[in-house]
Structure 1
Amino acid sequence: MCSRYEAPDANQLMKAFGVAPEHEMQRELWPGYNGPFLRAPQASDPDDEAAPSVEALTGMFGLLPFWAKDTKLARRTYNARSETVESKPSFRSAWRQAQHCIIPAAAIYEPDWRSGKAVPTRITRADGGLMSIAGLWERWTNPDGETVHSYSMPTVNADDHPLMRNYHRQGSEKRMVVVLPNGALKDWLTAPASESKAFMRQYPADRLHAEQR
């Protein structure tokens, strides 16, 4: 699971994806905070070769389905188990409608409990590039009639992952977010719901670097 991560700045986003949200962004993000996410353009002509391949928005970390009463739900919907995402009320609409997005991250943080205490550990891509985390996005209308975008990170089992099995409390199931290979980004953004499960895979341990903080 991932409840804390580090977002890239606008310059990093522009360099990696050619787009960045218009609004100022927070760098250290927790559930309920607002961060950047990327999705396939919603209004562009798919036959226009000059149209951008992605658009950047700012949304809340923690998915808010249409029936959410307030933003407090985001504290419990920042991760979605890939095994149950299509049936859980909070996520099933976004999953069934293939509302895929990319959540860019400079790093994620996980607690290392092997010493008996939770030691914050910063995990990055070994090559120094941005992590492109597979996400689901939603659109919610708040009581004032304003549109609020939000997003969540699906997770997969990591009990056998050489790196990620070291995190979280002993005896608990190990989970990890889905970091997409660079070559799979467009495919994820445009994949139909019937193909979503195929992307729910572990990222190779040798492509990640962990450093205790």
Structure 2
Amino acid sequence: MLQGLLAAELLKIKRKWVWFLIFLGPFGVVALQAVNFGVRYDYLTSQYIDDLWGGLIVNIQSFVPFVLIIGMSIITSIMANVDHEMRSWKHLLALPIHKYSLLLAKFIISLLLLFIASLLLLIGVIILGIILKFDIYALPLVDMIKMALYPYFAALPILALQLWVAVIYSHQGVAITLGTLGAVFSSYAFKLPDWVIWKWPSLLNSWDIPIYNVYLGFSTALVVLLVSIFHFIKKDVEE
């Protein structure tokens, strides 16, 4: 049953430019740093002479939370708005399937799409480093993977929250506004307390241990998802 719903969700977004957006986010971040390093190549390489790959990672990572949160708000809004536009919620809810499966299917597809975007970011950064003539044998692959995937895992509660709001409210301005404000909050992560979920993708915390944000992301995402499913089951979705 869930497999059929997943296939249906993919079919719904086939012509919604979702795959273009999944590519655009990572490409934009990498392109921005390509320009940054291209214009200031001598200065930046002298700054990071002892660890060129590390310098690239630092510069990329500062943009990841903002783009990731914006991406989450757009993707989840598209996923939910397909059914709002078609006014198909009543039809879907009348089907002989578990009601929670509808929300879970949208969450899983959103999860998959943003995971692909994170992998594209990883590949893009490696290609950029090679183009910049960084030593491929000095490539810190583990650090690269952490740069691309840790923020994604830490941001999972935001993904669950954005989908919840996008599904419950037919006016997607609510979800997009929440996502935009969250992205702005993430830009000032160093000023936010550790419990604020929009800080977690920055991997900053008072313990200075990034993996803690990943643990918090996983556990809190599960809670938010369960609460959203319970609320979805009990409440009528706006057409």
TM-score by length of 2: 0.28
TM-score by length of 1: 0.30
Structure with higher strand content: 1
Structure with higher helix content: 2
Q: Which has the higher contact order (CA 8 A, sep 6+)?
A: 2
- Which structure's CA Rg is the greater one? 2
